Structure 1
Amino acid sequence: MSTPAPLPALRRVVTSTDEQGKAIVWIDEEAKFQDLPGSTCKASVAWVTESFPSDNQTGVDGASIPPAGISHPSGSVFRILDVPPGATFPHHYTHSIDYGVVLAGEATHTLPDGSSATLKTGDVIVQLGNVHGWSNLTSDWTRLLFVVLPSKPIEIDGKLLEGLQL
């Protein structure tokens, strides 16, 4: 049995406005993926903002801003996650609301109690800061897109949620 090929390269295009007010293509390149610690998954950060509302007149490539983990405490993170066949991304949580879309393949969203939801190409998920993980239980690669925004921490009976925070 052969190993499935990784997903095709991902192109990152960023538009902006020049000094004369003209719309321009500022960046057009192949997205850079990095290995994620503790897993065989790879991630590409397409853009990070450090505030809300964001500054659209920035001269800084948002992909060069470190997101401080999965989320940014005062801005947004736009990330692509490639998950190889049989891989798992461990249970974790962040003080964030995560908007996710399955771009290719199939991903299983898992919760600590063993419950799960399998999402297929085109499906979306809204993750409200609870502990969760991801698995690719198929023999093909999966590509997920996430937009991560900061949120208030989860508090139960006056205590903040504990666990593996990323």
Structure 2
Amino acid sequence: MASPGSDFQSGLPKARRFITTHDDNGKAVYSETLPETVPFWPVGPRDEPAAFGLVYATTSTPIPLMRDEDLSTFQHIDEQRTRGGLVHRGGSAIRYVDYPPKASSPMHRTVSCDYAVVLFGQVSCRLDSGETRTLNAGDVLVQRGTMHQWVNLSDTWSRMLYVLLDSTPVESGGVVLEEDLGGMQGVPGSH
């Protein structure tokens, strides 16, 4: 088993990120601040962990691009990636999640609006009402603060890409619905 913070291998292709910035002459260039290969780490039960890979995160809107402030902020977030929550208050996060064959996440809710894209495999999203949808590679689900569970329907690893945008809490039936991680192992609460 890989240790927290190490580069966990699911067998899917390595994920790469490319970040742009400007040189001293105002020309667009690729930043060398962060490695291009996104590191993954194990999350969940020891015998069947999923793998998380944090691509980028911000802590405010609008995003402070002046003097690469956002890059500096993300460097700190990235150093703490195994200890950070799913949602960055006031900001955003883009994250890969690799799911083992036939594995599922706990039923959970984040206080965010998420764009969830299946990259590899076939995944089901189950809601606490019992409704489900099956997503194939290229399909997108917009998750709006609801209780949900991801299930890898594939006999191989599946990969999803999530963009999480901080949101106001949802109110339903006069009750404010807060983050509920459903007992996810190795995932701290958002802050």
- TM-score over 0.5 for the pair: yes
The reply to whether residue 60 of structure 1 matches residue 33 of structure 2 is no
**Deviation at residue 63 of structure 1 after TM alignment:** 5.6
Matches within 5 A, 1:22-41: 22-27=27-32, 28-38=35-45, 40-41=49-50
Question: For residues 154 and 122 of structure 1, what CA distance do their matches in structure 2 show?
Answer: 28
Moved segments of 4+, more than 4 Å: none
Which one-letter code corresponds to 2:40 in the other structure?
F
| Number of aligned residue pairs | 162
For residue 38 of structure 2, what is the amino acid of its counterpart?
A
Residue aligned with 2:25, SS: coil
User: Cα deviation per residue 1:33-90 (whole Å; 9 max; x = unaligned)?
Assistant: 0112356210111001010011123241626415741111110001111111011111
1:106 aligns with 2:159: no
Identity of aligned residues (%): 36
Q: Which residue of 1 aligns with 2:7?
A: none
TM-score, normalising length from structure 1? 0.88
Where 1:42 maps in the other structure, the secondary structure is strand
1:54 aligned partner, one-letter code: I
Are the structure 2 counterparts of residues 164 and 132 from structure 1 closer, same or farther at C-alpha, using a change threshold of 3 Å?
same
Match of 1:155 among 171, 185, 190: 171
Whether the aligned pair in 2 keeps the contact of 1:105 and 1:143 (CA below 8 Å) is yes
8 Å CA contact 1:6, 1:84 repeated in 2: no
Give the match for residue 58 of structure 2. Answer: 49
Residue 156 of structure 2 aligns to a residue whose secondary structure is coil
1:123–1:63 CA distance, 2 compared to 1 (3 A): farther
* C-alpha RMSD of the superposition: 2.0
Distance 2:179 2:89 in 1: 18
TM-score of the two chains, using structure 2 as the length reference: 0.77
In 1: Cα distance, 2:44 partner to 2:64 partner: 31
Once the two structures are superposed, residues 115-156 of structure 1 have per-residue CA deviations (whole angstroms, 9 ceiling, x without a partner) of: 211100010110011000101021011111111101110112
Whose helix proportion is higher, 1 or 2? 2
Question: More strand by proportion, 1 or 2?
Answer: 1
3-state secondary structure, aligned to 1:60: helix
